[in-house]
Structure 1
Amino acid sequence: MSGLLDLLSSPMGKQLISGVAGQTGQSTDQTGSVLSMALPVLMGAMKKNAATPEGAQGLLSALSNNKHDGSILDNLGGLFGGGVDDSVLNDGAGILGHVLGNKQPQVENALSSKSGMDAGTISTILKVAAPILLGYLGKQTRQQNVTDSNGIGDVLGGLMGGGKTAHKQQSLIESFLDSDGDGSILDDVASMALGGKKGGIGGLLGGLFGK
């Protein structure tokens, strides 16, 4: 199964980074950096929510929506061509509210602090990325014919890399989401996302931008 590393380092991922950069007026370098930190946090939050039967069923219900069947991935050029439509941004805002809850400002501020982007721009990036990430997840669940809570947990775990790497990422992400708001745990998540450790999503930007 393709993981987040494969998603962002693929042609589709580069198109996503370029499109989001154009939407926010940021460089592809900065945008790729933010996405490489943000997507694991969003995925980790989804995995945490899906750990309960109710949460897993809620996620499966969201993925059964035609908006999240993966079709959004088929025309990213059209999505970003004239600027992202408000309906996509509104969908993203709803996803973030469900996945992050009252931790959303904390996540945005921590990403802002780490990346140097203002929190408003971070918020826009997350709103654009969330429907695309859910579409990617929806496509994976359809390909694997996932219909129950155990299956969705396996898909999320696979996308985060599997094994000890995924477990460590999940622990860091949960600590980050449950922290007192100082954002310090993001340094650990970011070091994994920005190439500090092998495996999982490590080395991502090195592959994308030759660092």
Structure 2
Amino acid sequence: MNTESLAASLFQQLQQGQGLQQVAQQLGIDQNQASSAIGAALPLLMGAMGRNAQQPQGAEALLGALQRDHAGSAGGGGFDLGGLLGSVLGGGGNATNGAGILGHVFGGNSDRAAQGLSQATGLDSGKTGQLLAILAPIVMSYLAQRFANGGNPAQLSQALGQEAQAAQGQNGSLLASVLDQDGDGQLGIGDLLKLGGGLFGGKR
């Protein structure tokens, strides 16, 4: 059984080839800064998705979005990171609409996510916001490749739930502050309901 987290596996793929260099160039930072920032951003994104997917309707909505919008971008034969990254950086297509995806994932807290990541990485929030928008469609395509064909909401919920636990273990205060929708300093059921209500529901 593969015990490596989804975030760690995707991070490894981004470290190989030209992916890391392309992201660093897009953000105007060096590769070490980009690597550190991606290493913090991926668990944050997947952890937020994991919190959303803990509700049955959240997992169903996410799986539906993966199948509808992102299975094609994952490529018929697997996960084409190079092609997808080129499309994302080139600003093409609905499936690569990072800002739109972030709006669903963070339920209107995209700015708070960028600020929290900025504090964790030392990059300015403009760059971290841009990084999250670059990574969001890549994460969705990666999840589509893993779950869109033959996966079910329960499997997706379980896998992303583990990502959320791992993200809390790695930097729980960052994840909690971003997902604390009502600003009371605690992550309660009200926050989860607000997040789930915005997750991939309705028309984009």
Give me the TM-score of the superposition, normalised by structure 2.
Answer: 0.71
How much identity, in percent, do the aligned residues show?
30
3-state SS of paired residue (2:97):
helix
Match of 2:159 in 1: 155
Asked if residue 123 in structure 1 is aligned to residue 126 in structure 2, the reply is no
3-state SS of paired residue (1:146):
coil
Check the 8 A contact 2:117/2:128 in 1, yes or no.
Answer: yes
Q: Quick one: distance in 2 between partners of 1:157 and 1:40?
A: 12
- Aligned-pair distance for 1:37? 0.7
Q: CA RMSD in A?
A: 3.1
Asked if residue 13 in structure 1 is aligned to residue 18 in structure 2, the reply is no
Match of 1:176 in 2: 177
Check the 8 A contact 2:67/2:148 in 1, yes or no.
Answer: no
Asked if residue 108 in structure 1 is aligned to residue 110 in structure 2, the reply is no
Question: 1:73-152 residue pairs with structure 2 within 5 A?
Answer: 73-74=79-80, 76=82, 79-80=85-86, 84-87=89-92, 91-142=97-148, 145-147=150-152, 149-152=153-156
Paired amino acid for 1:176:
S
Match of 1:206 in 2: none
Check the 8 A contact 1:92/1:126 in 2, yes or no.
Answer: yes
Structure 1 gap segments, 5+ residues each: 183-211
Which string of whole-angstrom CA distances, capped at 9 and with x for unpartnered residues, describes residues 34-77 of structure 1? 11111101101101111112211110111102534522941516
Q: Quick one: distance in 2 between partners of 1:87 and 1:156?
A: 27
- Aligned-pair distance for 1:155? 2.6
Paired amino acid for 2:15:
G
Give me the TM-score of the superposition, normalised by structure 1.
Answer: 0.69
Q: Quick one: distance in 2 between partners of 1:97 and 1:165?
A: 23
- Aligned-pair distance for 1:112? 1.3
Structure 2 gap segments, 5+ residues each: 186-204
Moved over 4 A (4+): 164-167, 169-174, 179-182
